[in-house]
Each structure stands twice: as C-alpha cells, then as structure tokens.
Amino acid sequence: MRVVMFTHAADPADALPAMSFLDAAVACLPPLPSNYSAVDDADAILIDTRADLTRARALCQLLSGPMECGPILLVVDDGGAAAVQDDWGASDFVMAGASPAELGARLRMLRRAAPVSSAPREDRLEVGDLVIDVTAYTARIHGEILDLTYKEFELLKFMAINQGRVLTREILLDEVWGQDYIGGARTVDVHVRRLRAKLGTEYDQLIGTVRNVGYRLDAPGSM
C-alpha cells in the first residue's frame, strides 16, 4: 500500500504518531503545488489539517475534485473534527492521537471502498512482467503471449485496471460477466484458477486471494 501524506511536519509520525507502526510505503510531503502529482498512484492520501484548516480544505477539494485522486483521510485535532464538512471531499478523518489499530483499520476500509474503474487510462497495462495490450486483446509475459479465452482476458484486464485494489467476487461478476449473469461467485473462482495456471508457477502469485473477500492483482513486493 502506498500512502502520501501532506504535512508541514518533517516526519509523518510528528503529525500522526500511529504512522510509525504502519506497514506501508509513506511519502511525507509539504502541501506545495509541485508535490501534488505524487497522488497519481497513491492508494490513500492523508492531509494534516491541524496547522491551517482553510488551506487543508482547499487542498482536499482540489485533490478530490479536478485531480480525481484516491481516497483522502484527514488528520484532525478536536477543533478540526468539528469543522470538517461534506463539501471538503474527504472520504474520512482520523484523530491525530488515534491508535495504530484504528489508523490501519481506517486505511483498509478506505481502500476497500475506493471506486473501481472499468476503463483503462492507457492501451497498455503493466503489472510486473505482465503486459496487457488492451486494443490487441493480448497478454504477454516476457514477450510470450498467454493463451487466454475472452472472459479470462476480460477478467485479467479488469483486475489490472484496478491493480492493487481488493475486488470482491460480486464486483468481478458484475463488471466482467454483467449484472444480468445468473451464475454464482464460483464462476469467478474457476476463472481465477485457470488464469493462475496459465500465468505459470513463477507468476501465479500476481493474483492474490483475500480470504472471505475476493482477489487482488498486484506486482510482487508492492504490498
């Protein structure tokens, strides 16, 4: 999980001590326009509101509006919690003194609740050594084309578009098979098993199982 935190503190733990215990890659950046592009591939964005609520609100609205970034978690103190409104565009907030367990839980819920996308931003999707050509309907590993059925390709493509996100079986059924499909979640499990077999033993771990939830496609070492 990659987290970007906008704060004037030199260390994210200075703003939110629980960050010291977070098992994630955290980029701690001052809230300057030159740093805003860092949110492009972030799984979650934290904004430290304690020093200046007005500027924090403007940054939150910019990131959640025109920049369409990922979910935003505000770090607030007692006064800030009372000031936060829906029009800020934040997904949630956490008190500066929150425990590591609470912070971890809030970040997990943010990631699970983040909207999925069905349209790729580019014609080429890459997940580690896996390269998917959306227009040519091909998936390759080290240049070798995988022999995929149409549904297997669509499933792999959708998971790649939402790389790193946990996708429930219900979401996968709706997006790949369509909401009118009358089959059950077992269909997803069968196709995932076939995909793993075609990826081979060296790459089958690209598709991870999240127990009792669903699946996640991710490059090795990114979690």
Number of other residues whose CB lies within 10 A of the CB of residue 199: 20
Q: Are 150 and 159 contacting, i.e. CB atoms less than 8 angstroms apart?
A: no
Is the pLDDT at 86 greater than 90? The verdict is: no
Average pLDDT estimate for 21-46: 86
Sheet hosting strand 44-48, strand order edge to edge = 25-29, 2-6, 44-48, 72-76, 92-95
Q: What is the pLDDT of residue 69?
A: 78
Q: What is the pLDDT of residue 209?
A: 92
Confidence of residue 222 (pLDDT cuts 50, 70, 90): low
Q: What is the pLDDT of residue 110?
A: 78
Average pLDDT estimate for 126-142: 90
Average pLDDT estimate for 124-143: 90
Q: What is the pLDDT of residue 215?
A: 92
Facing residues of 216 across strands? Answer: 208
φ, ψ at 168 (rounded to 5°) = -70, 160
Q: What is the pLDDT of residue 117?
A: 54
Confidence of residue 74 (pLDDT cuts 50, 70, 90): very high
Is the pLDDT at 119 greater than 70? The verdict is: no
Confidence of residue 46 (pLDDT cuts 50, 70, 90): very high
Is the pLDDT at 76 greater than 70? The verdict is: yes
Confidence of residue 197 (pLDDT cuts 50, 70, 90): very high
Torsion of CA 147, 152, 156, 158, to 10 degrees: 140
User: In the block, which residue shows the tokens 């935003």?
Assistant: 72
Is the pLDDT at 1 greater than 90? The verdict is: no
pTM, to two decimals: 0.53
Average pLDDT estimate for 87-108: 90
Residue by residue, DSSP assigns 24-93 as SEEEEE-S-GGGGGGGTT-SEEEEE-SS-HHHHHHHHHHHHTTT--S-EEEEE-HHHHHH--GGG--SEE
Is the pLDDT at 107 greater than 60? The verdict is: yes
Residue 196 burial by CB count (10 A; 0-12/13-18/19+): exposed, middle or buried?
middle
Average pLDDT estimate for 108-137: 76
pLDDT above 70 covers a percentage of the chain that reads 92
User: What crossing angle do the helices spanning 150-161 and 186-199 adopt, rounded to 10°?
Assistant: 90
Average pLDDT estimate for 49-68: 86
**64 CB-near residues (< 8 Å, 6+ apart):** 72, 88, 89, 90
Instruction: Please provide the average confidence, as pLDDT, over all residues in the chain.
Output: 86
Q: What is the pLDDT of residue 217?
A: 92
Ordered by where they begin, the domains of the chain are: 2-113 (3.40.50.2300), 124-217 (1.10.10.10)
CA-derived radius of gyration, the chain: 19
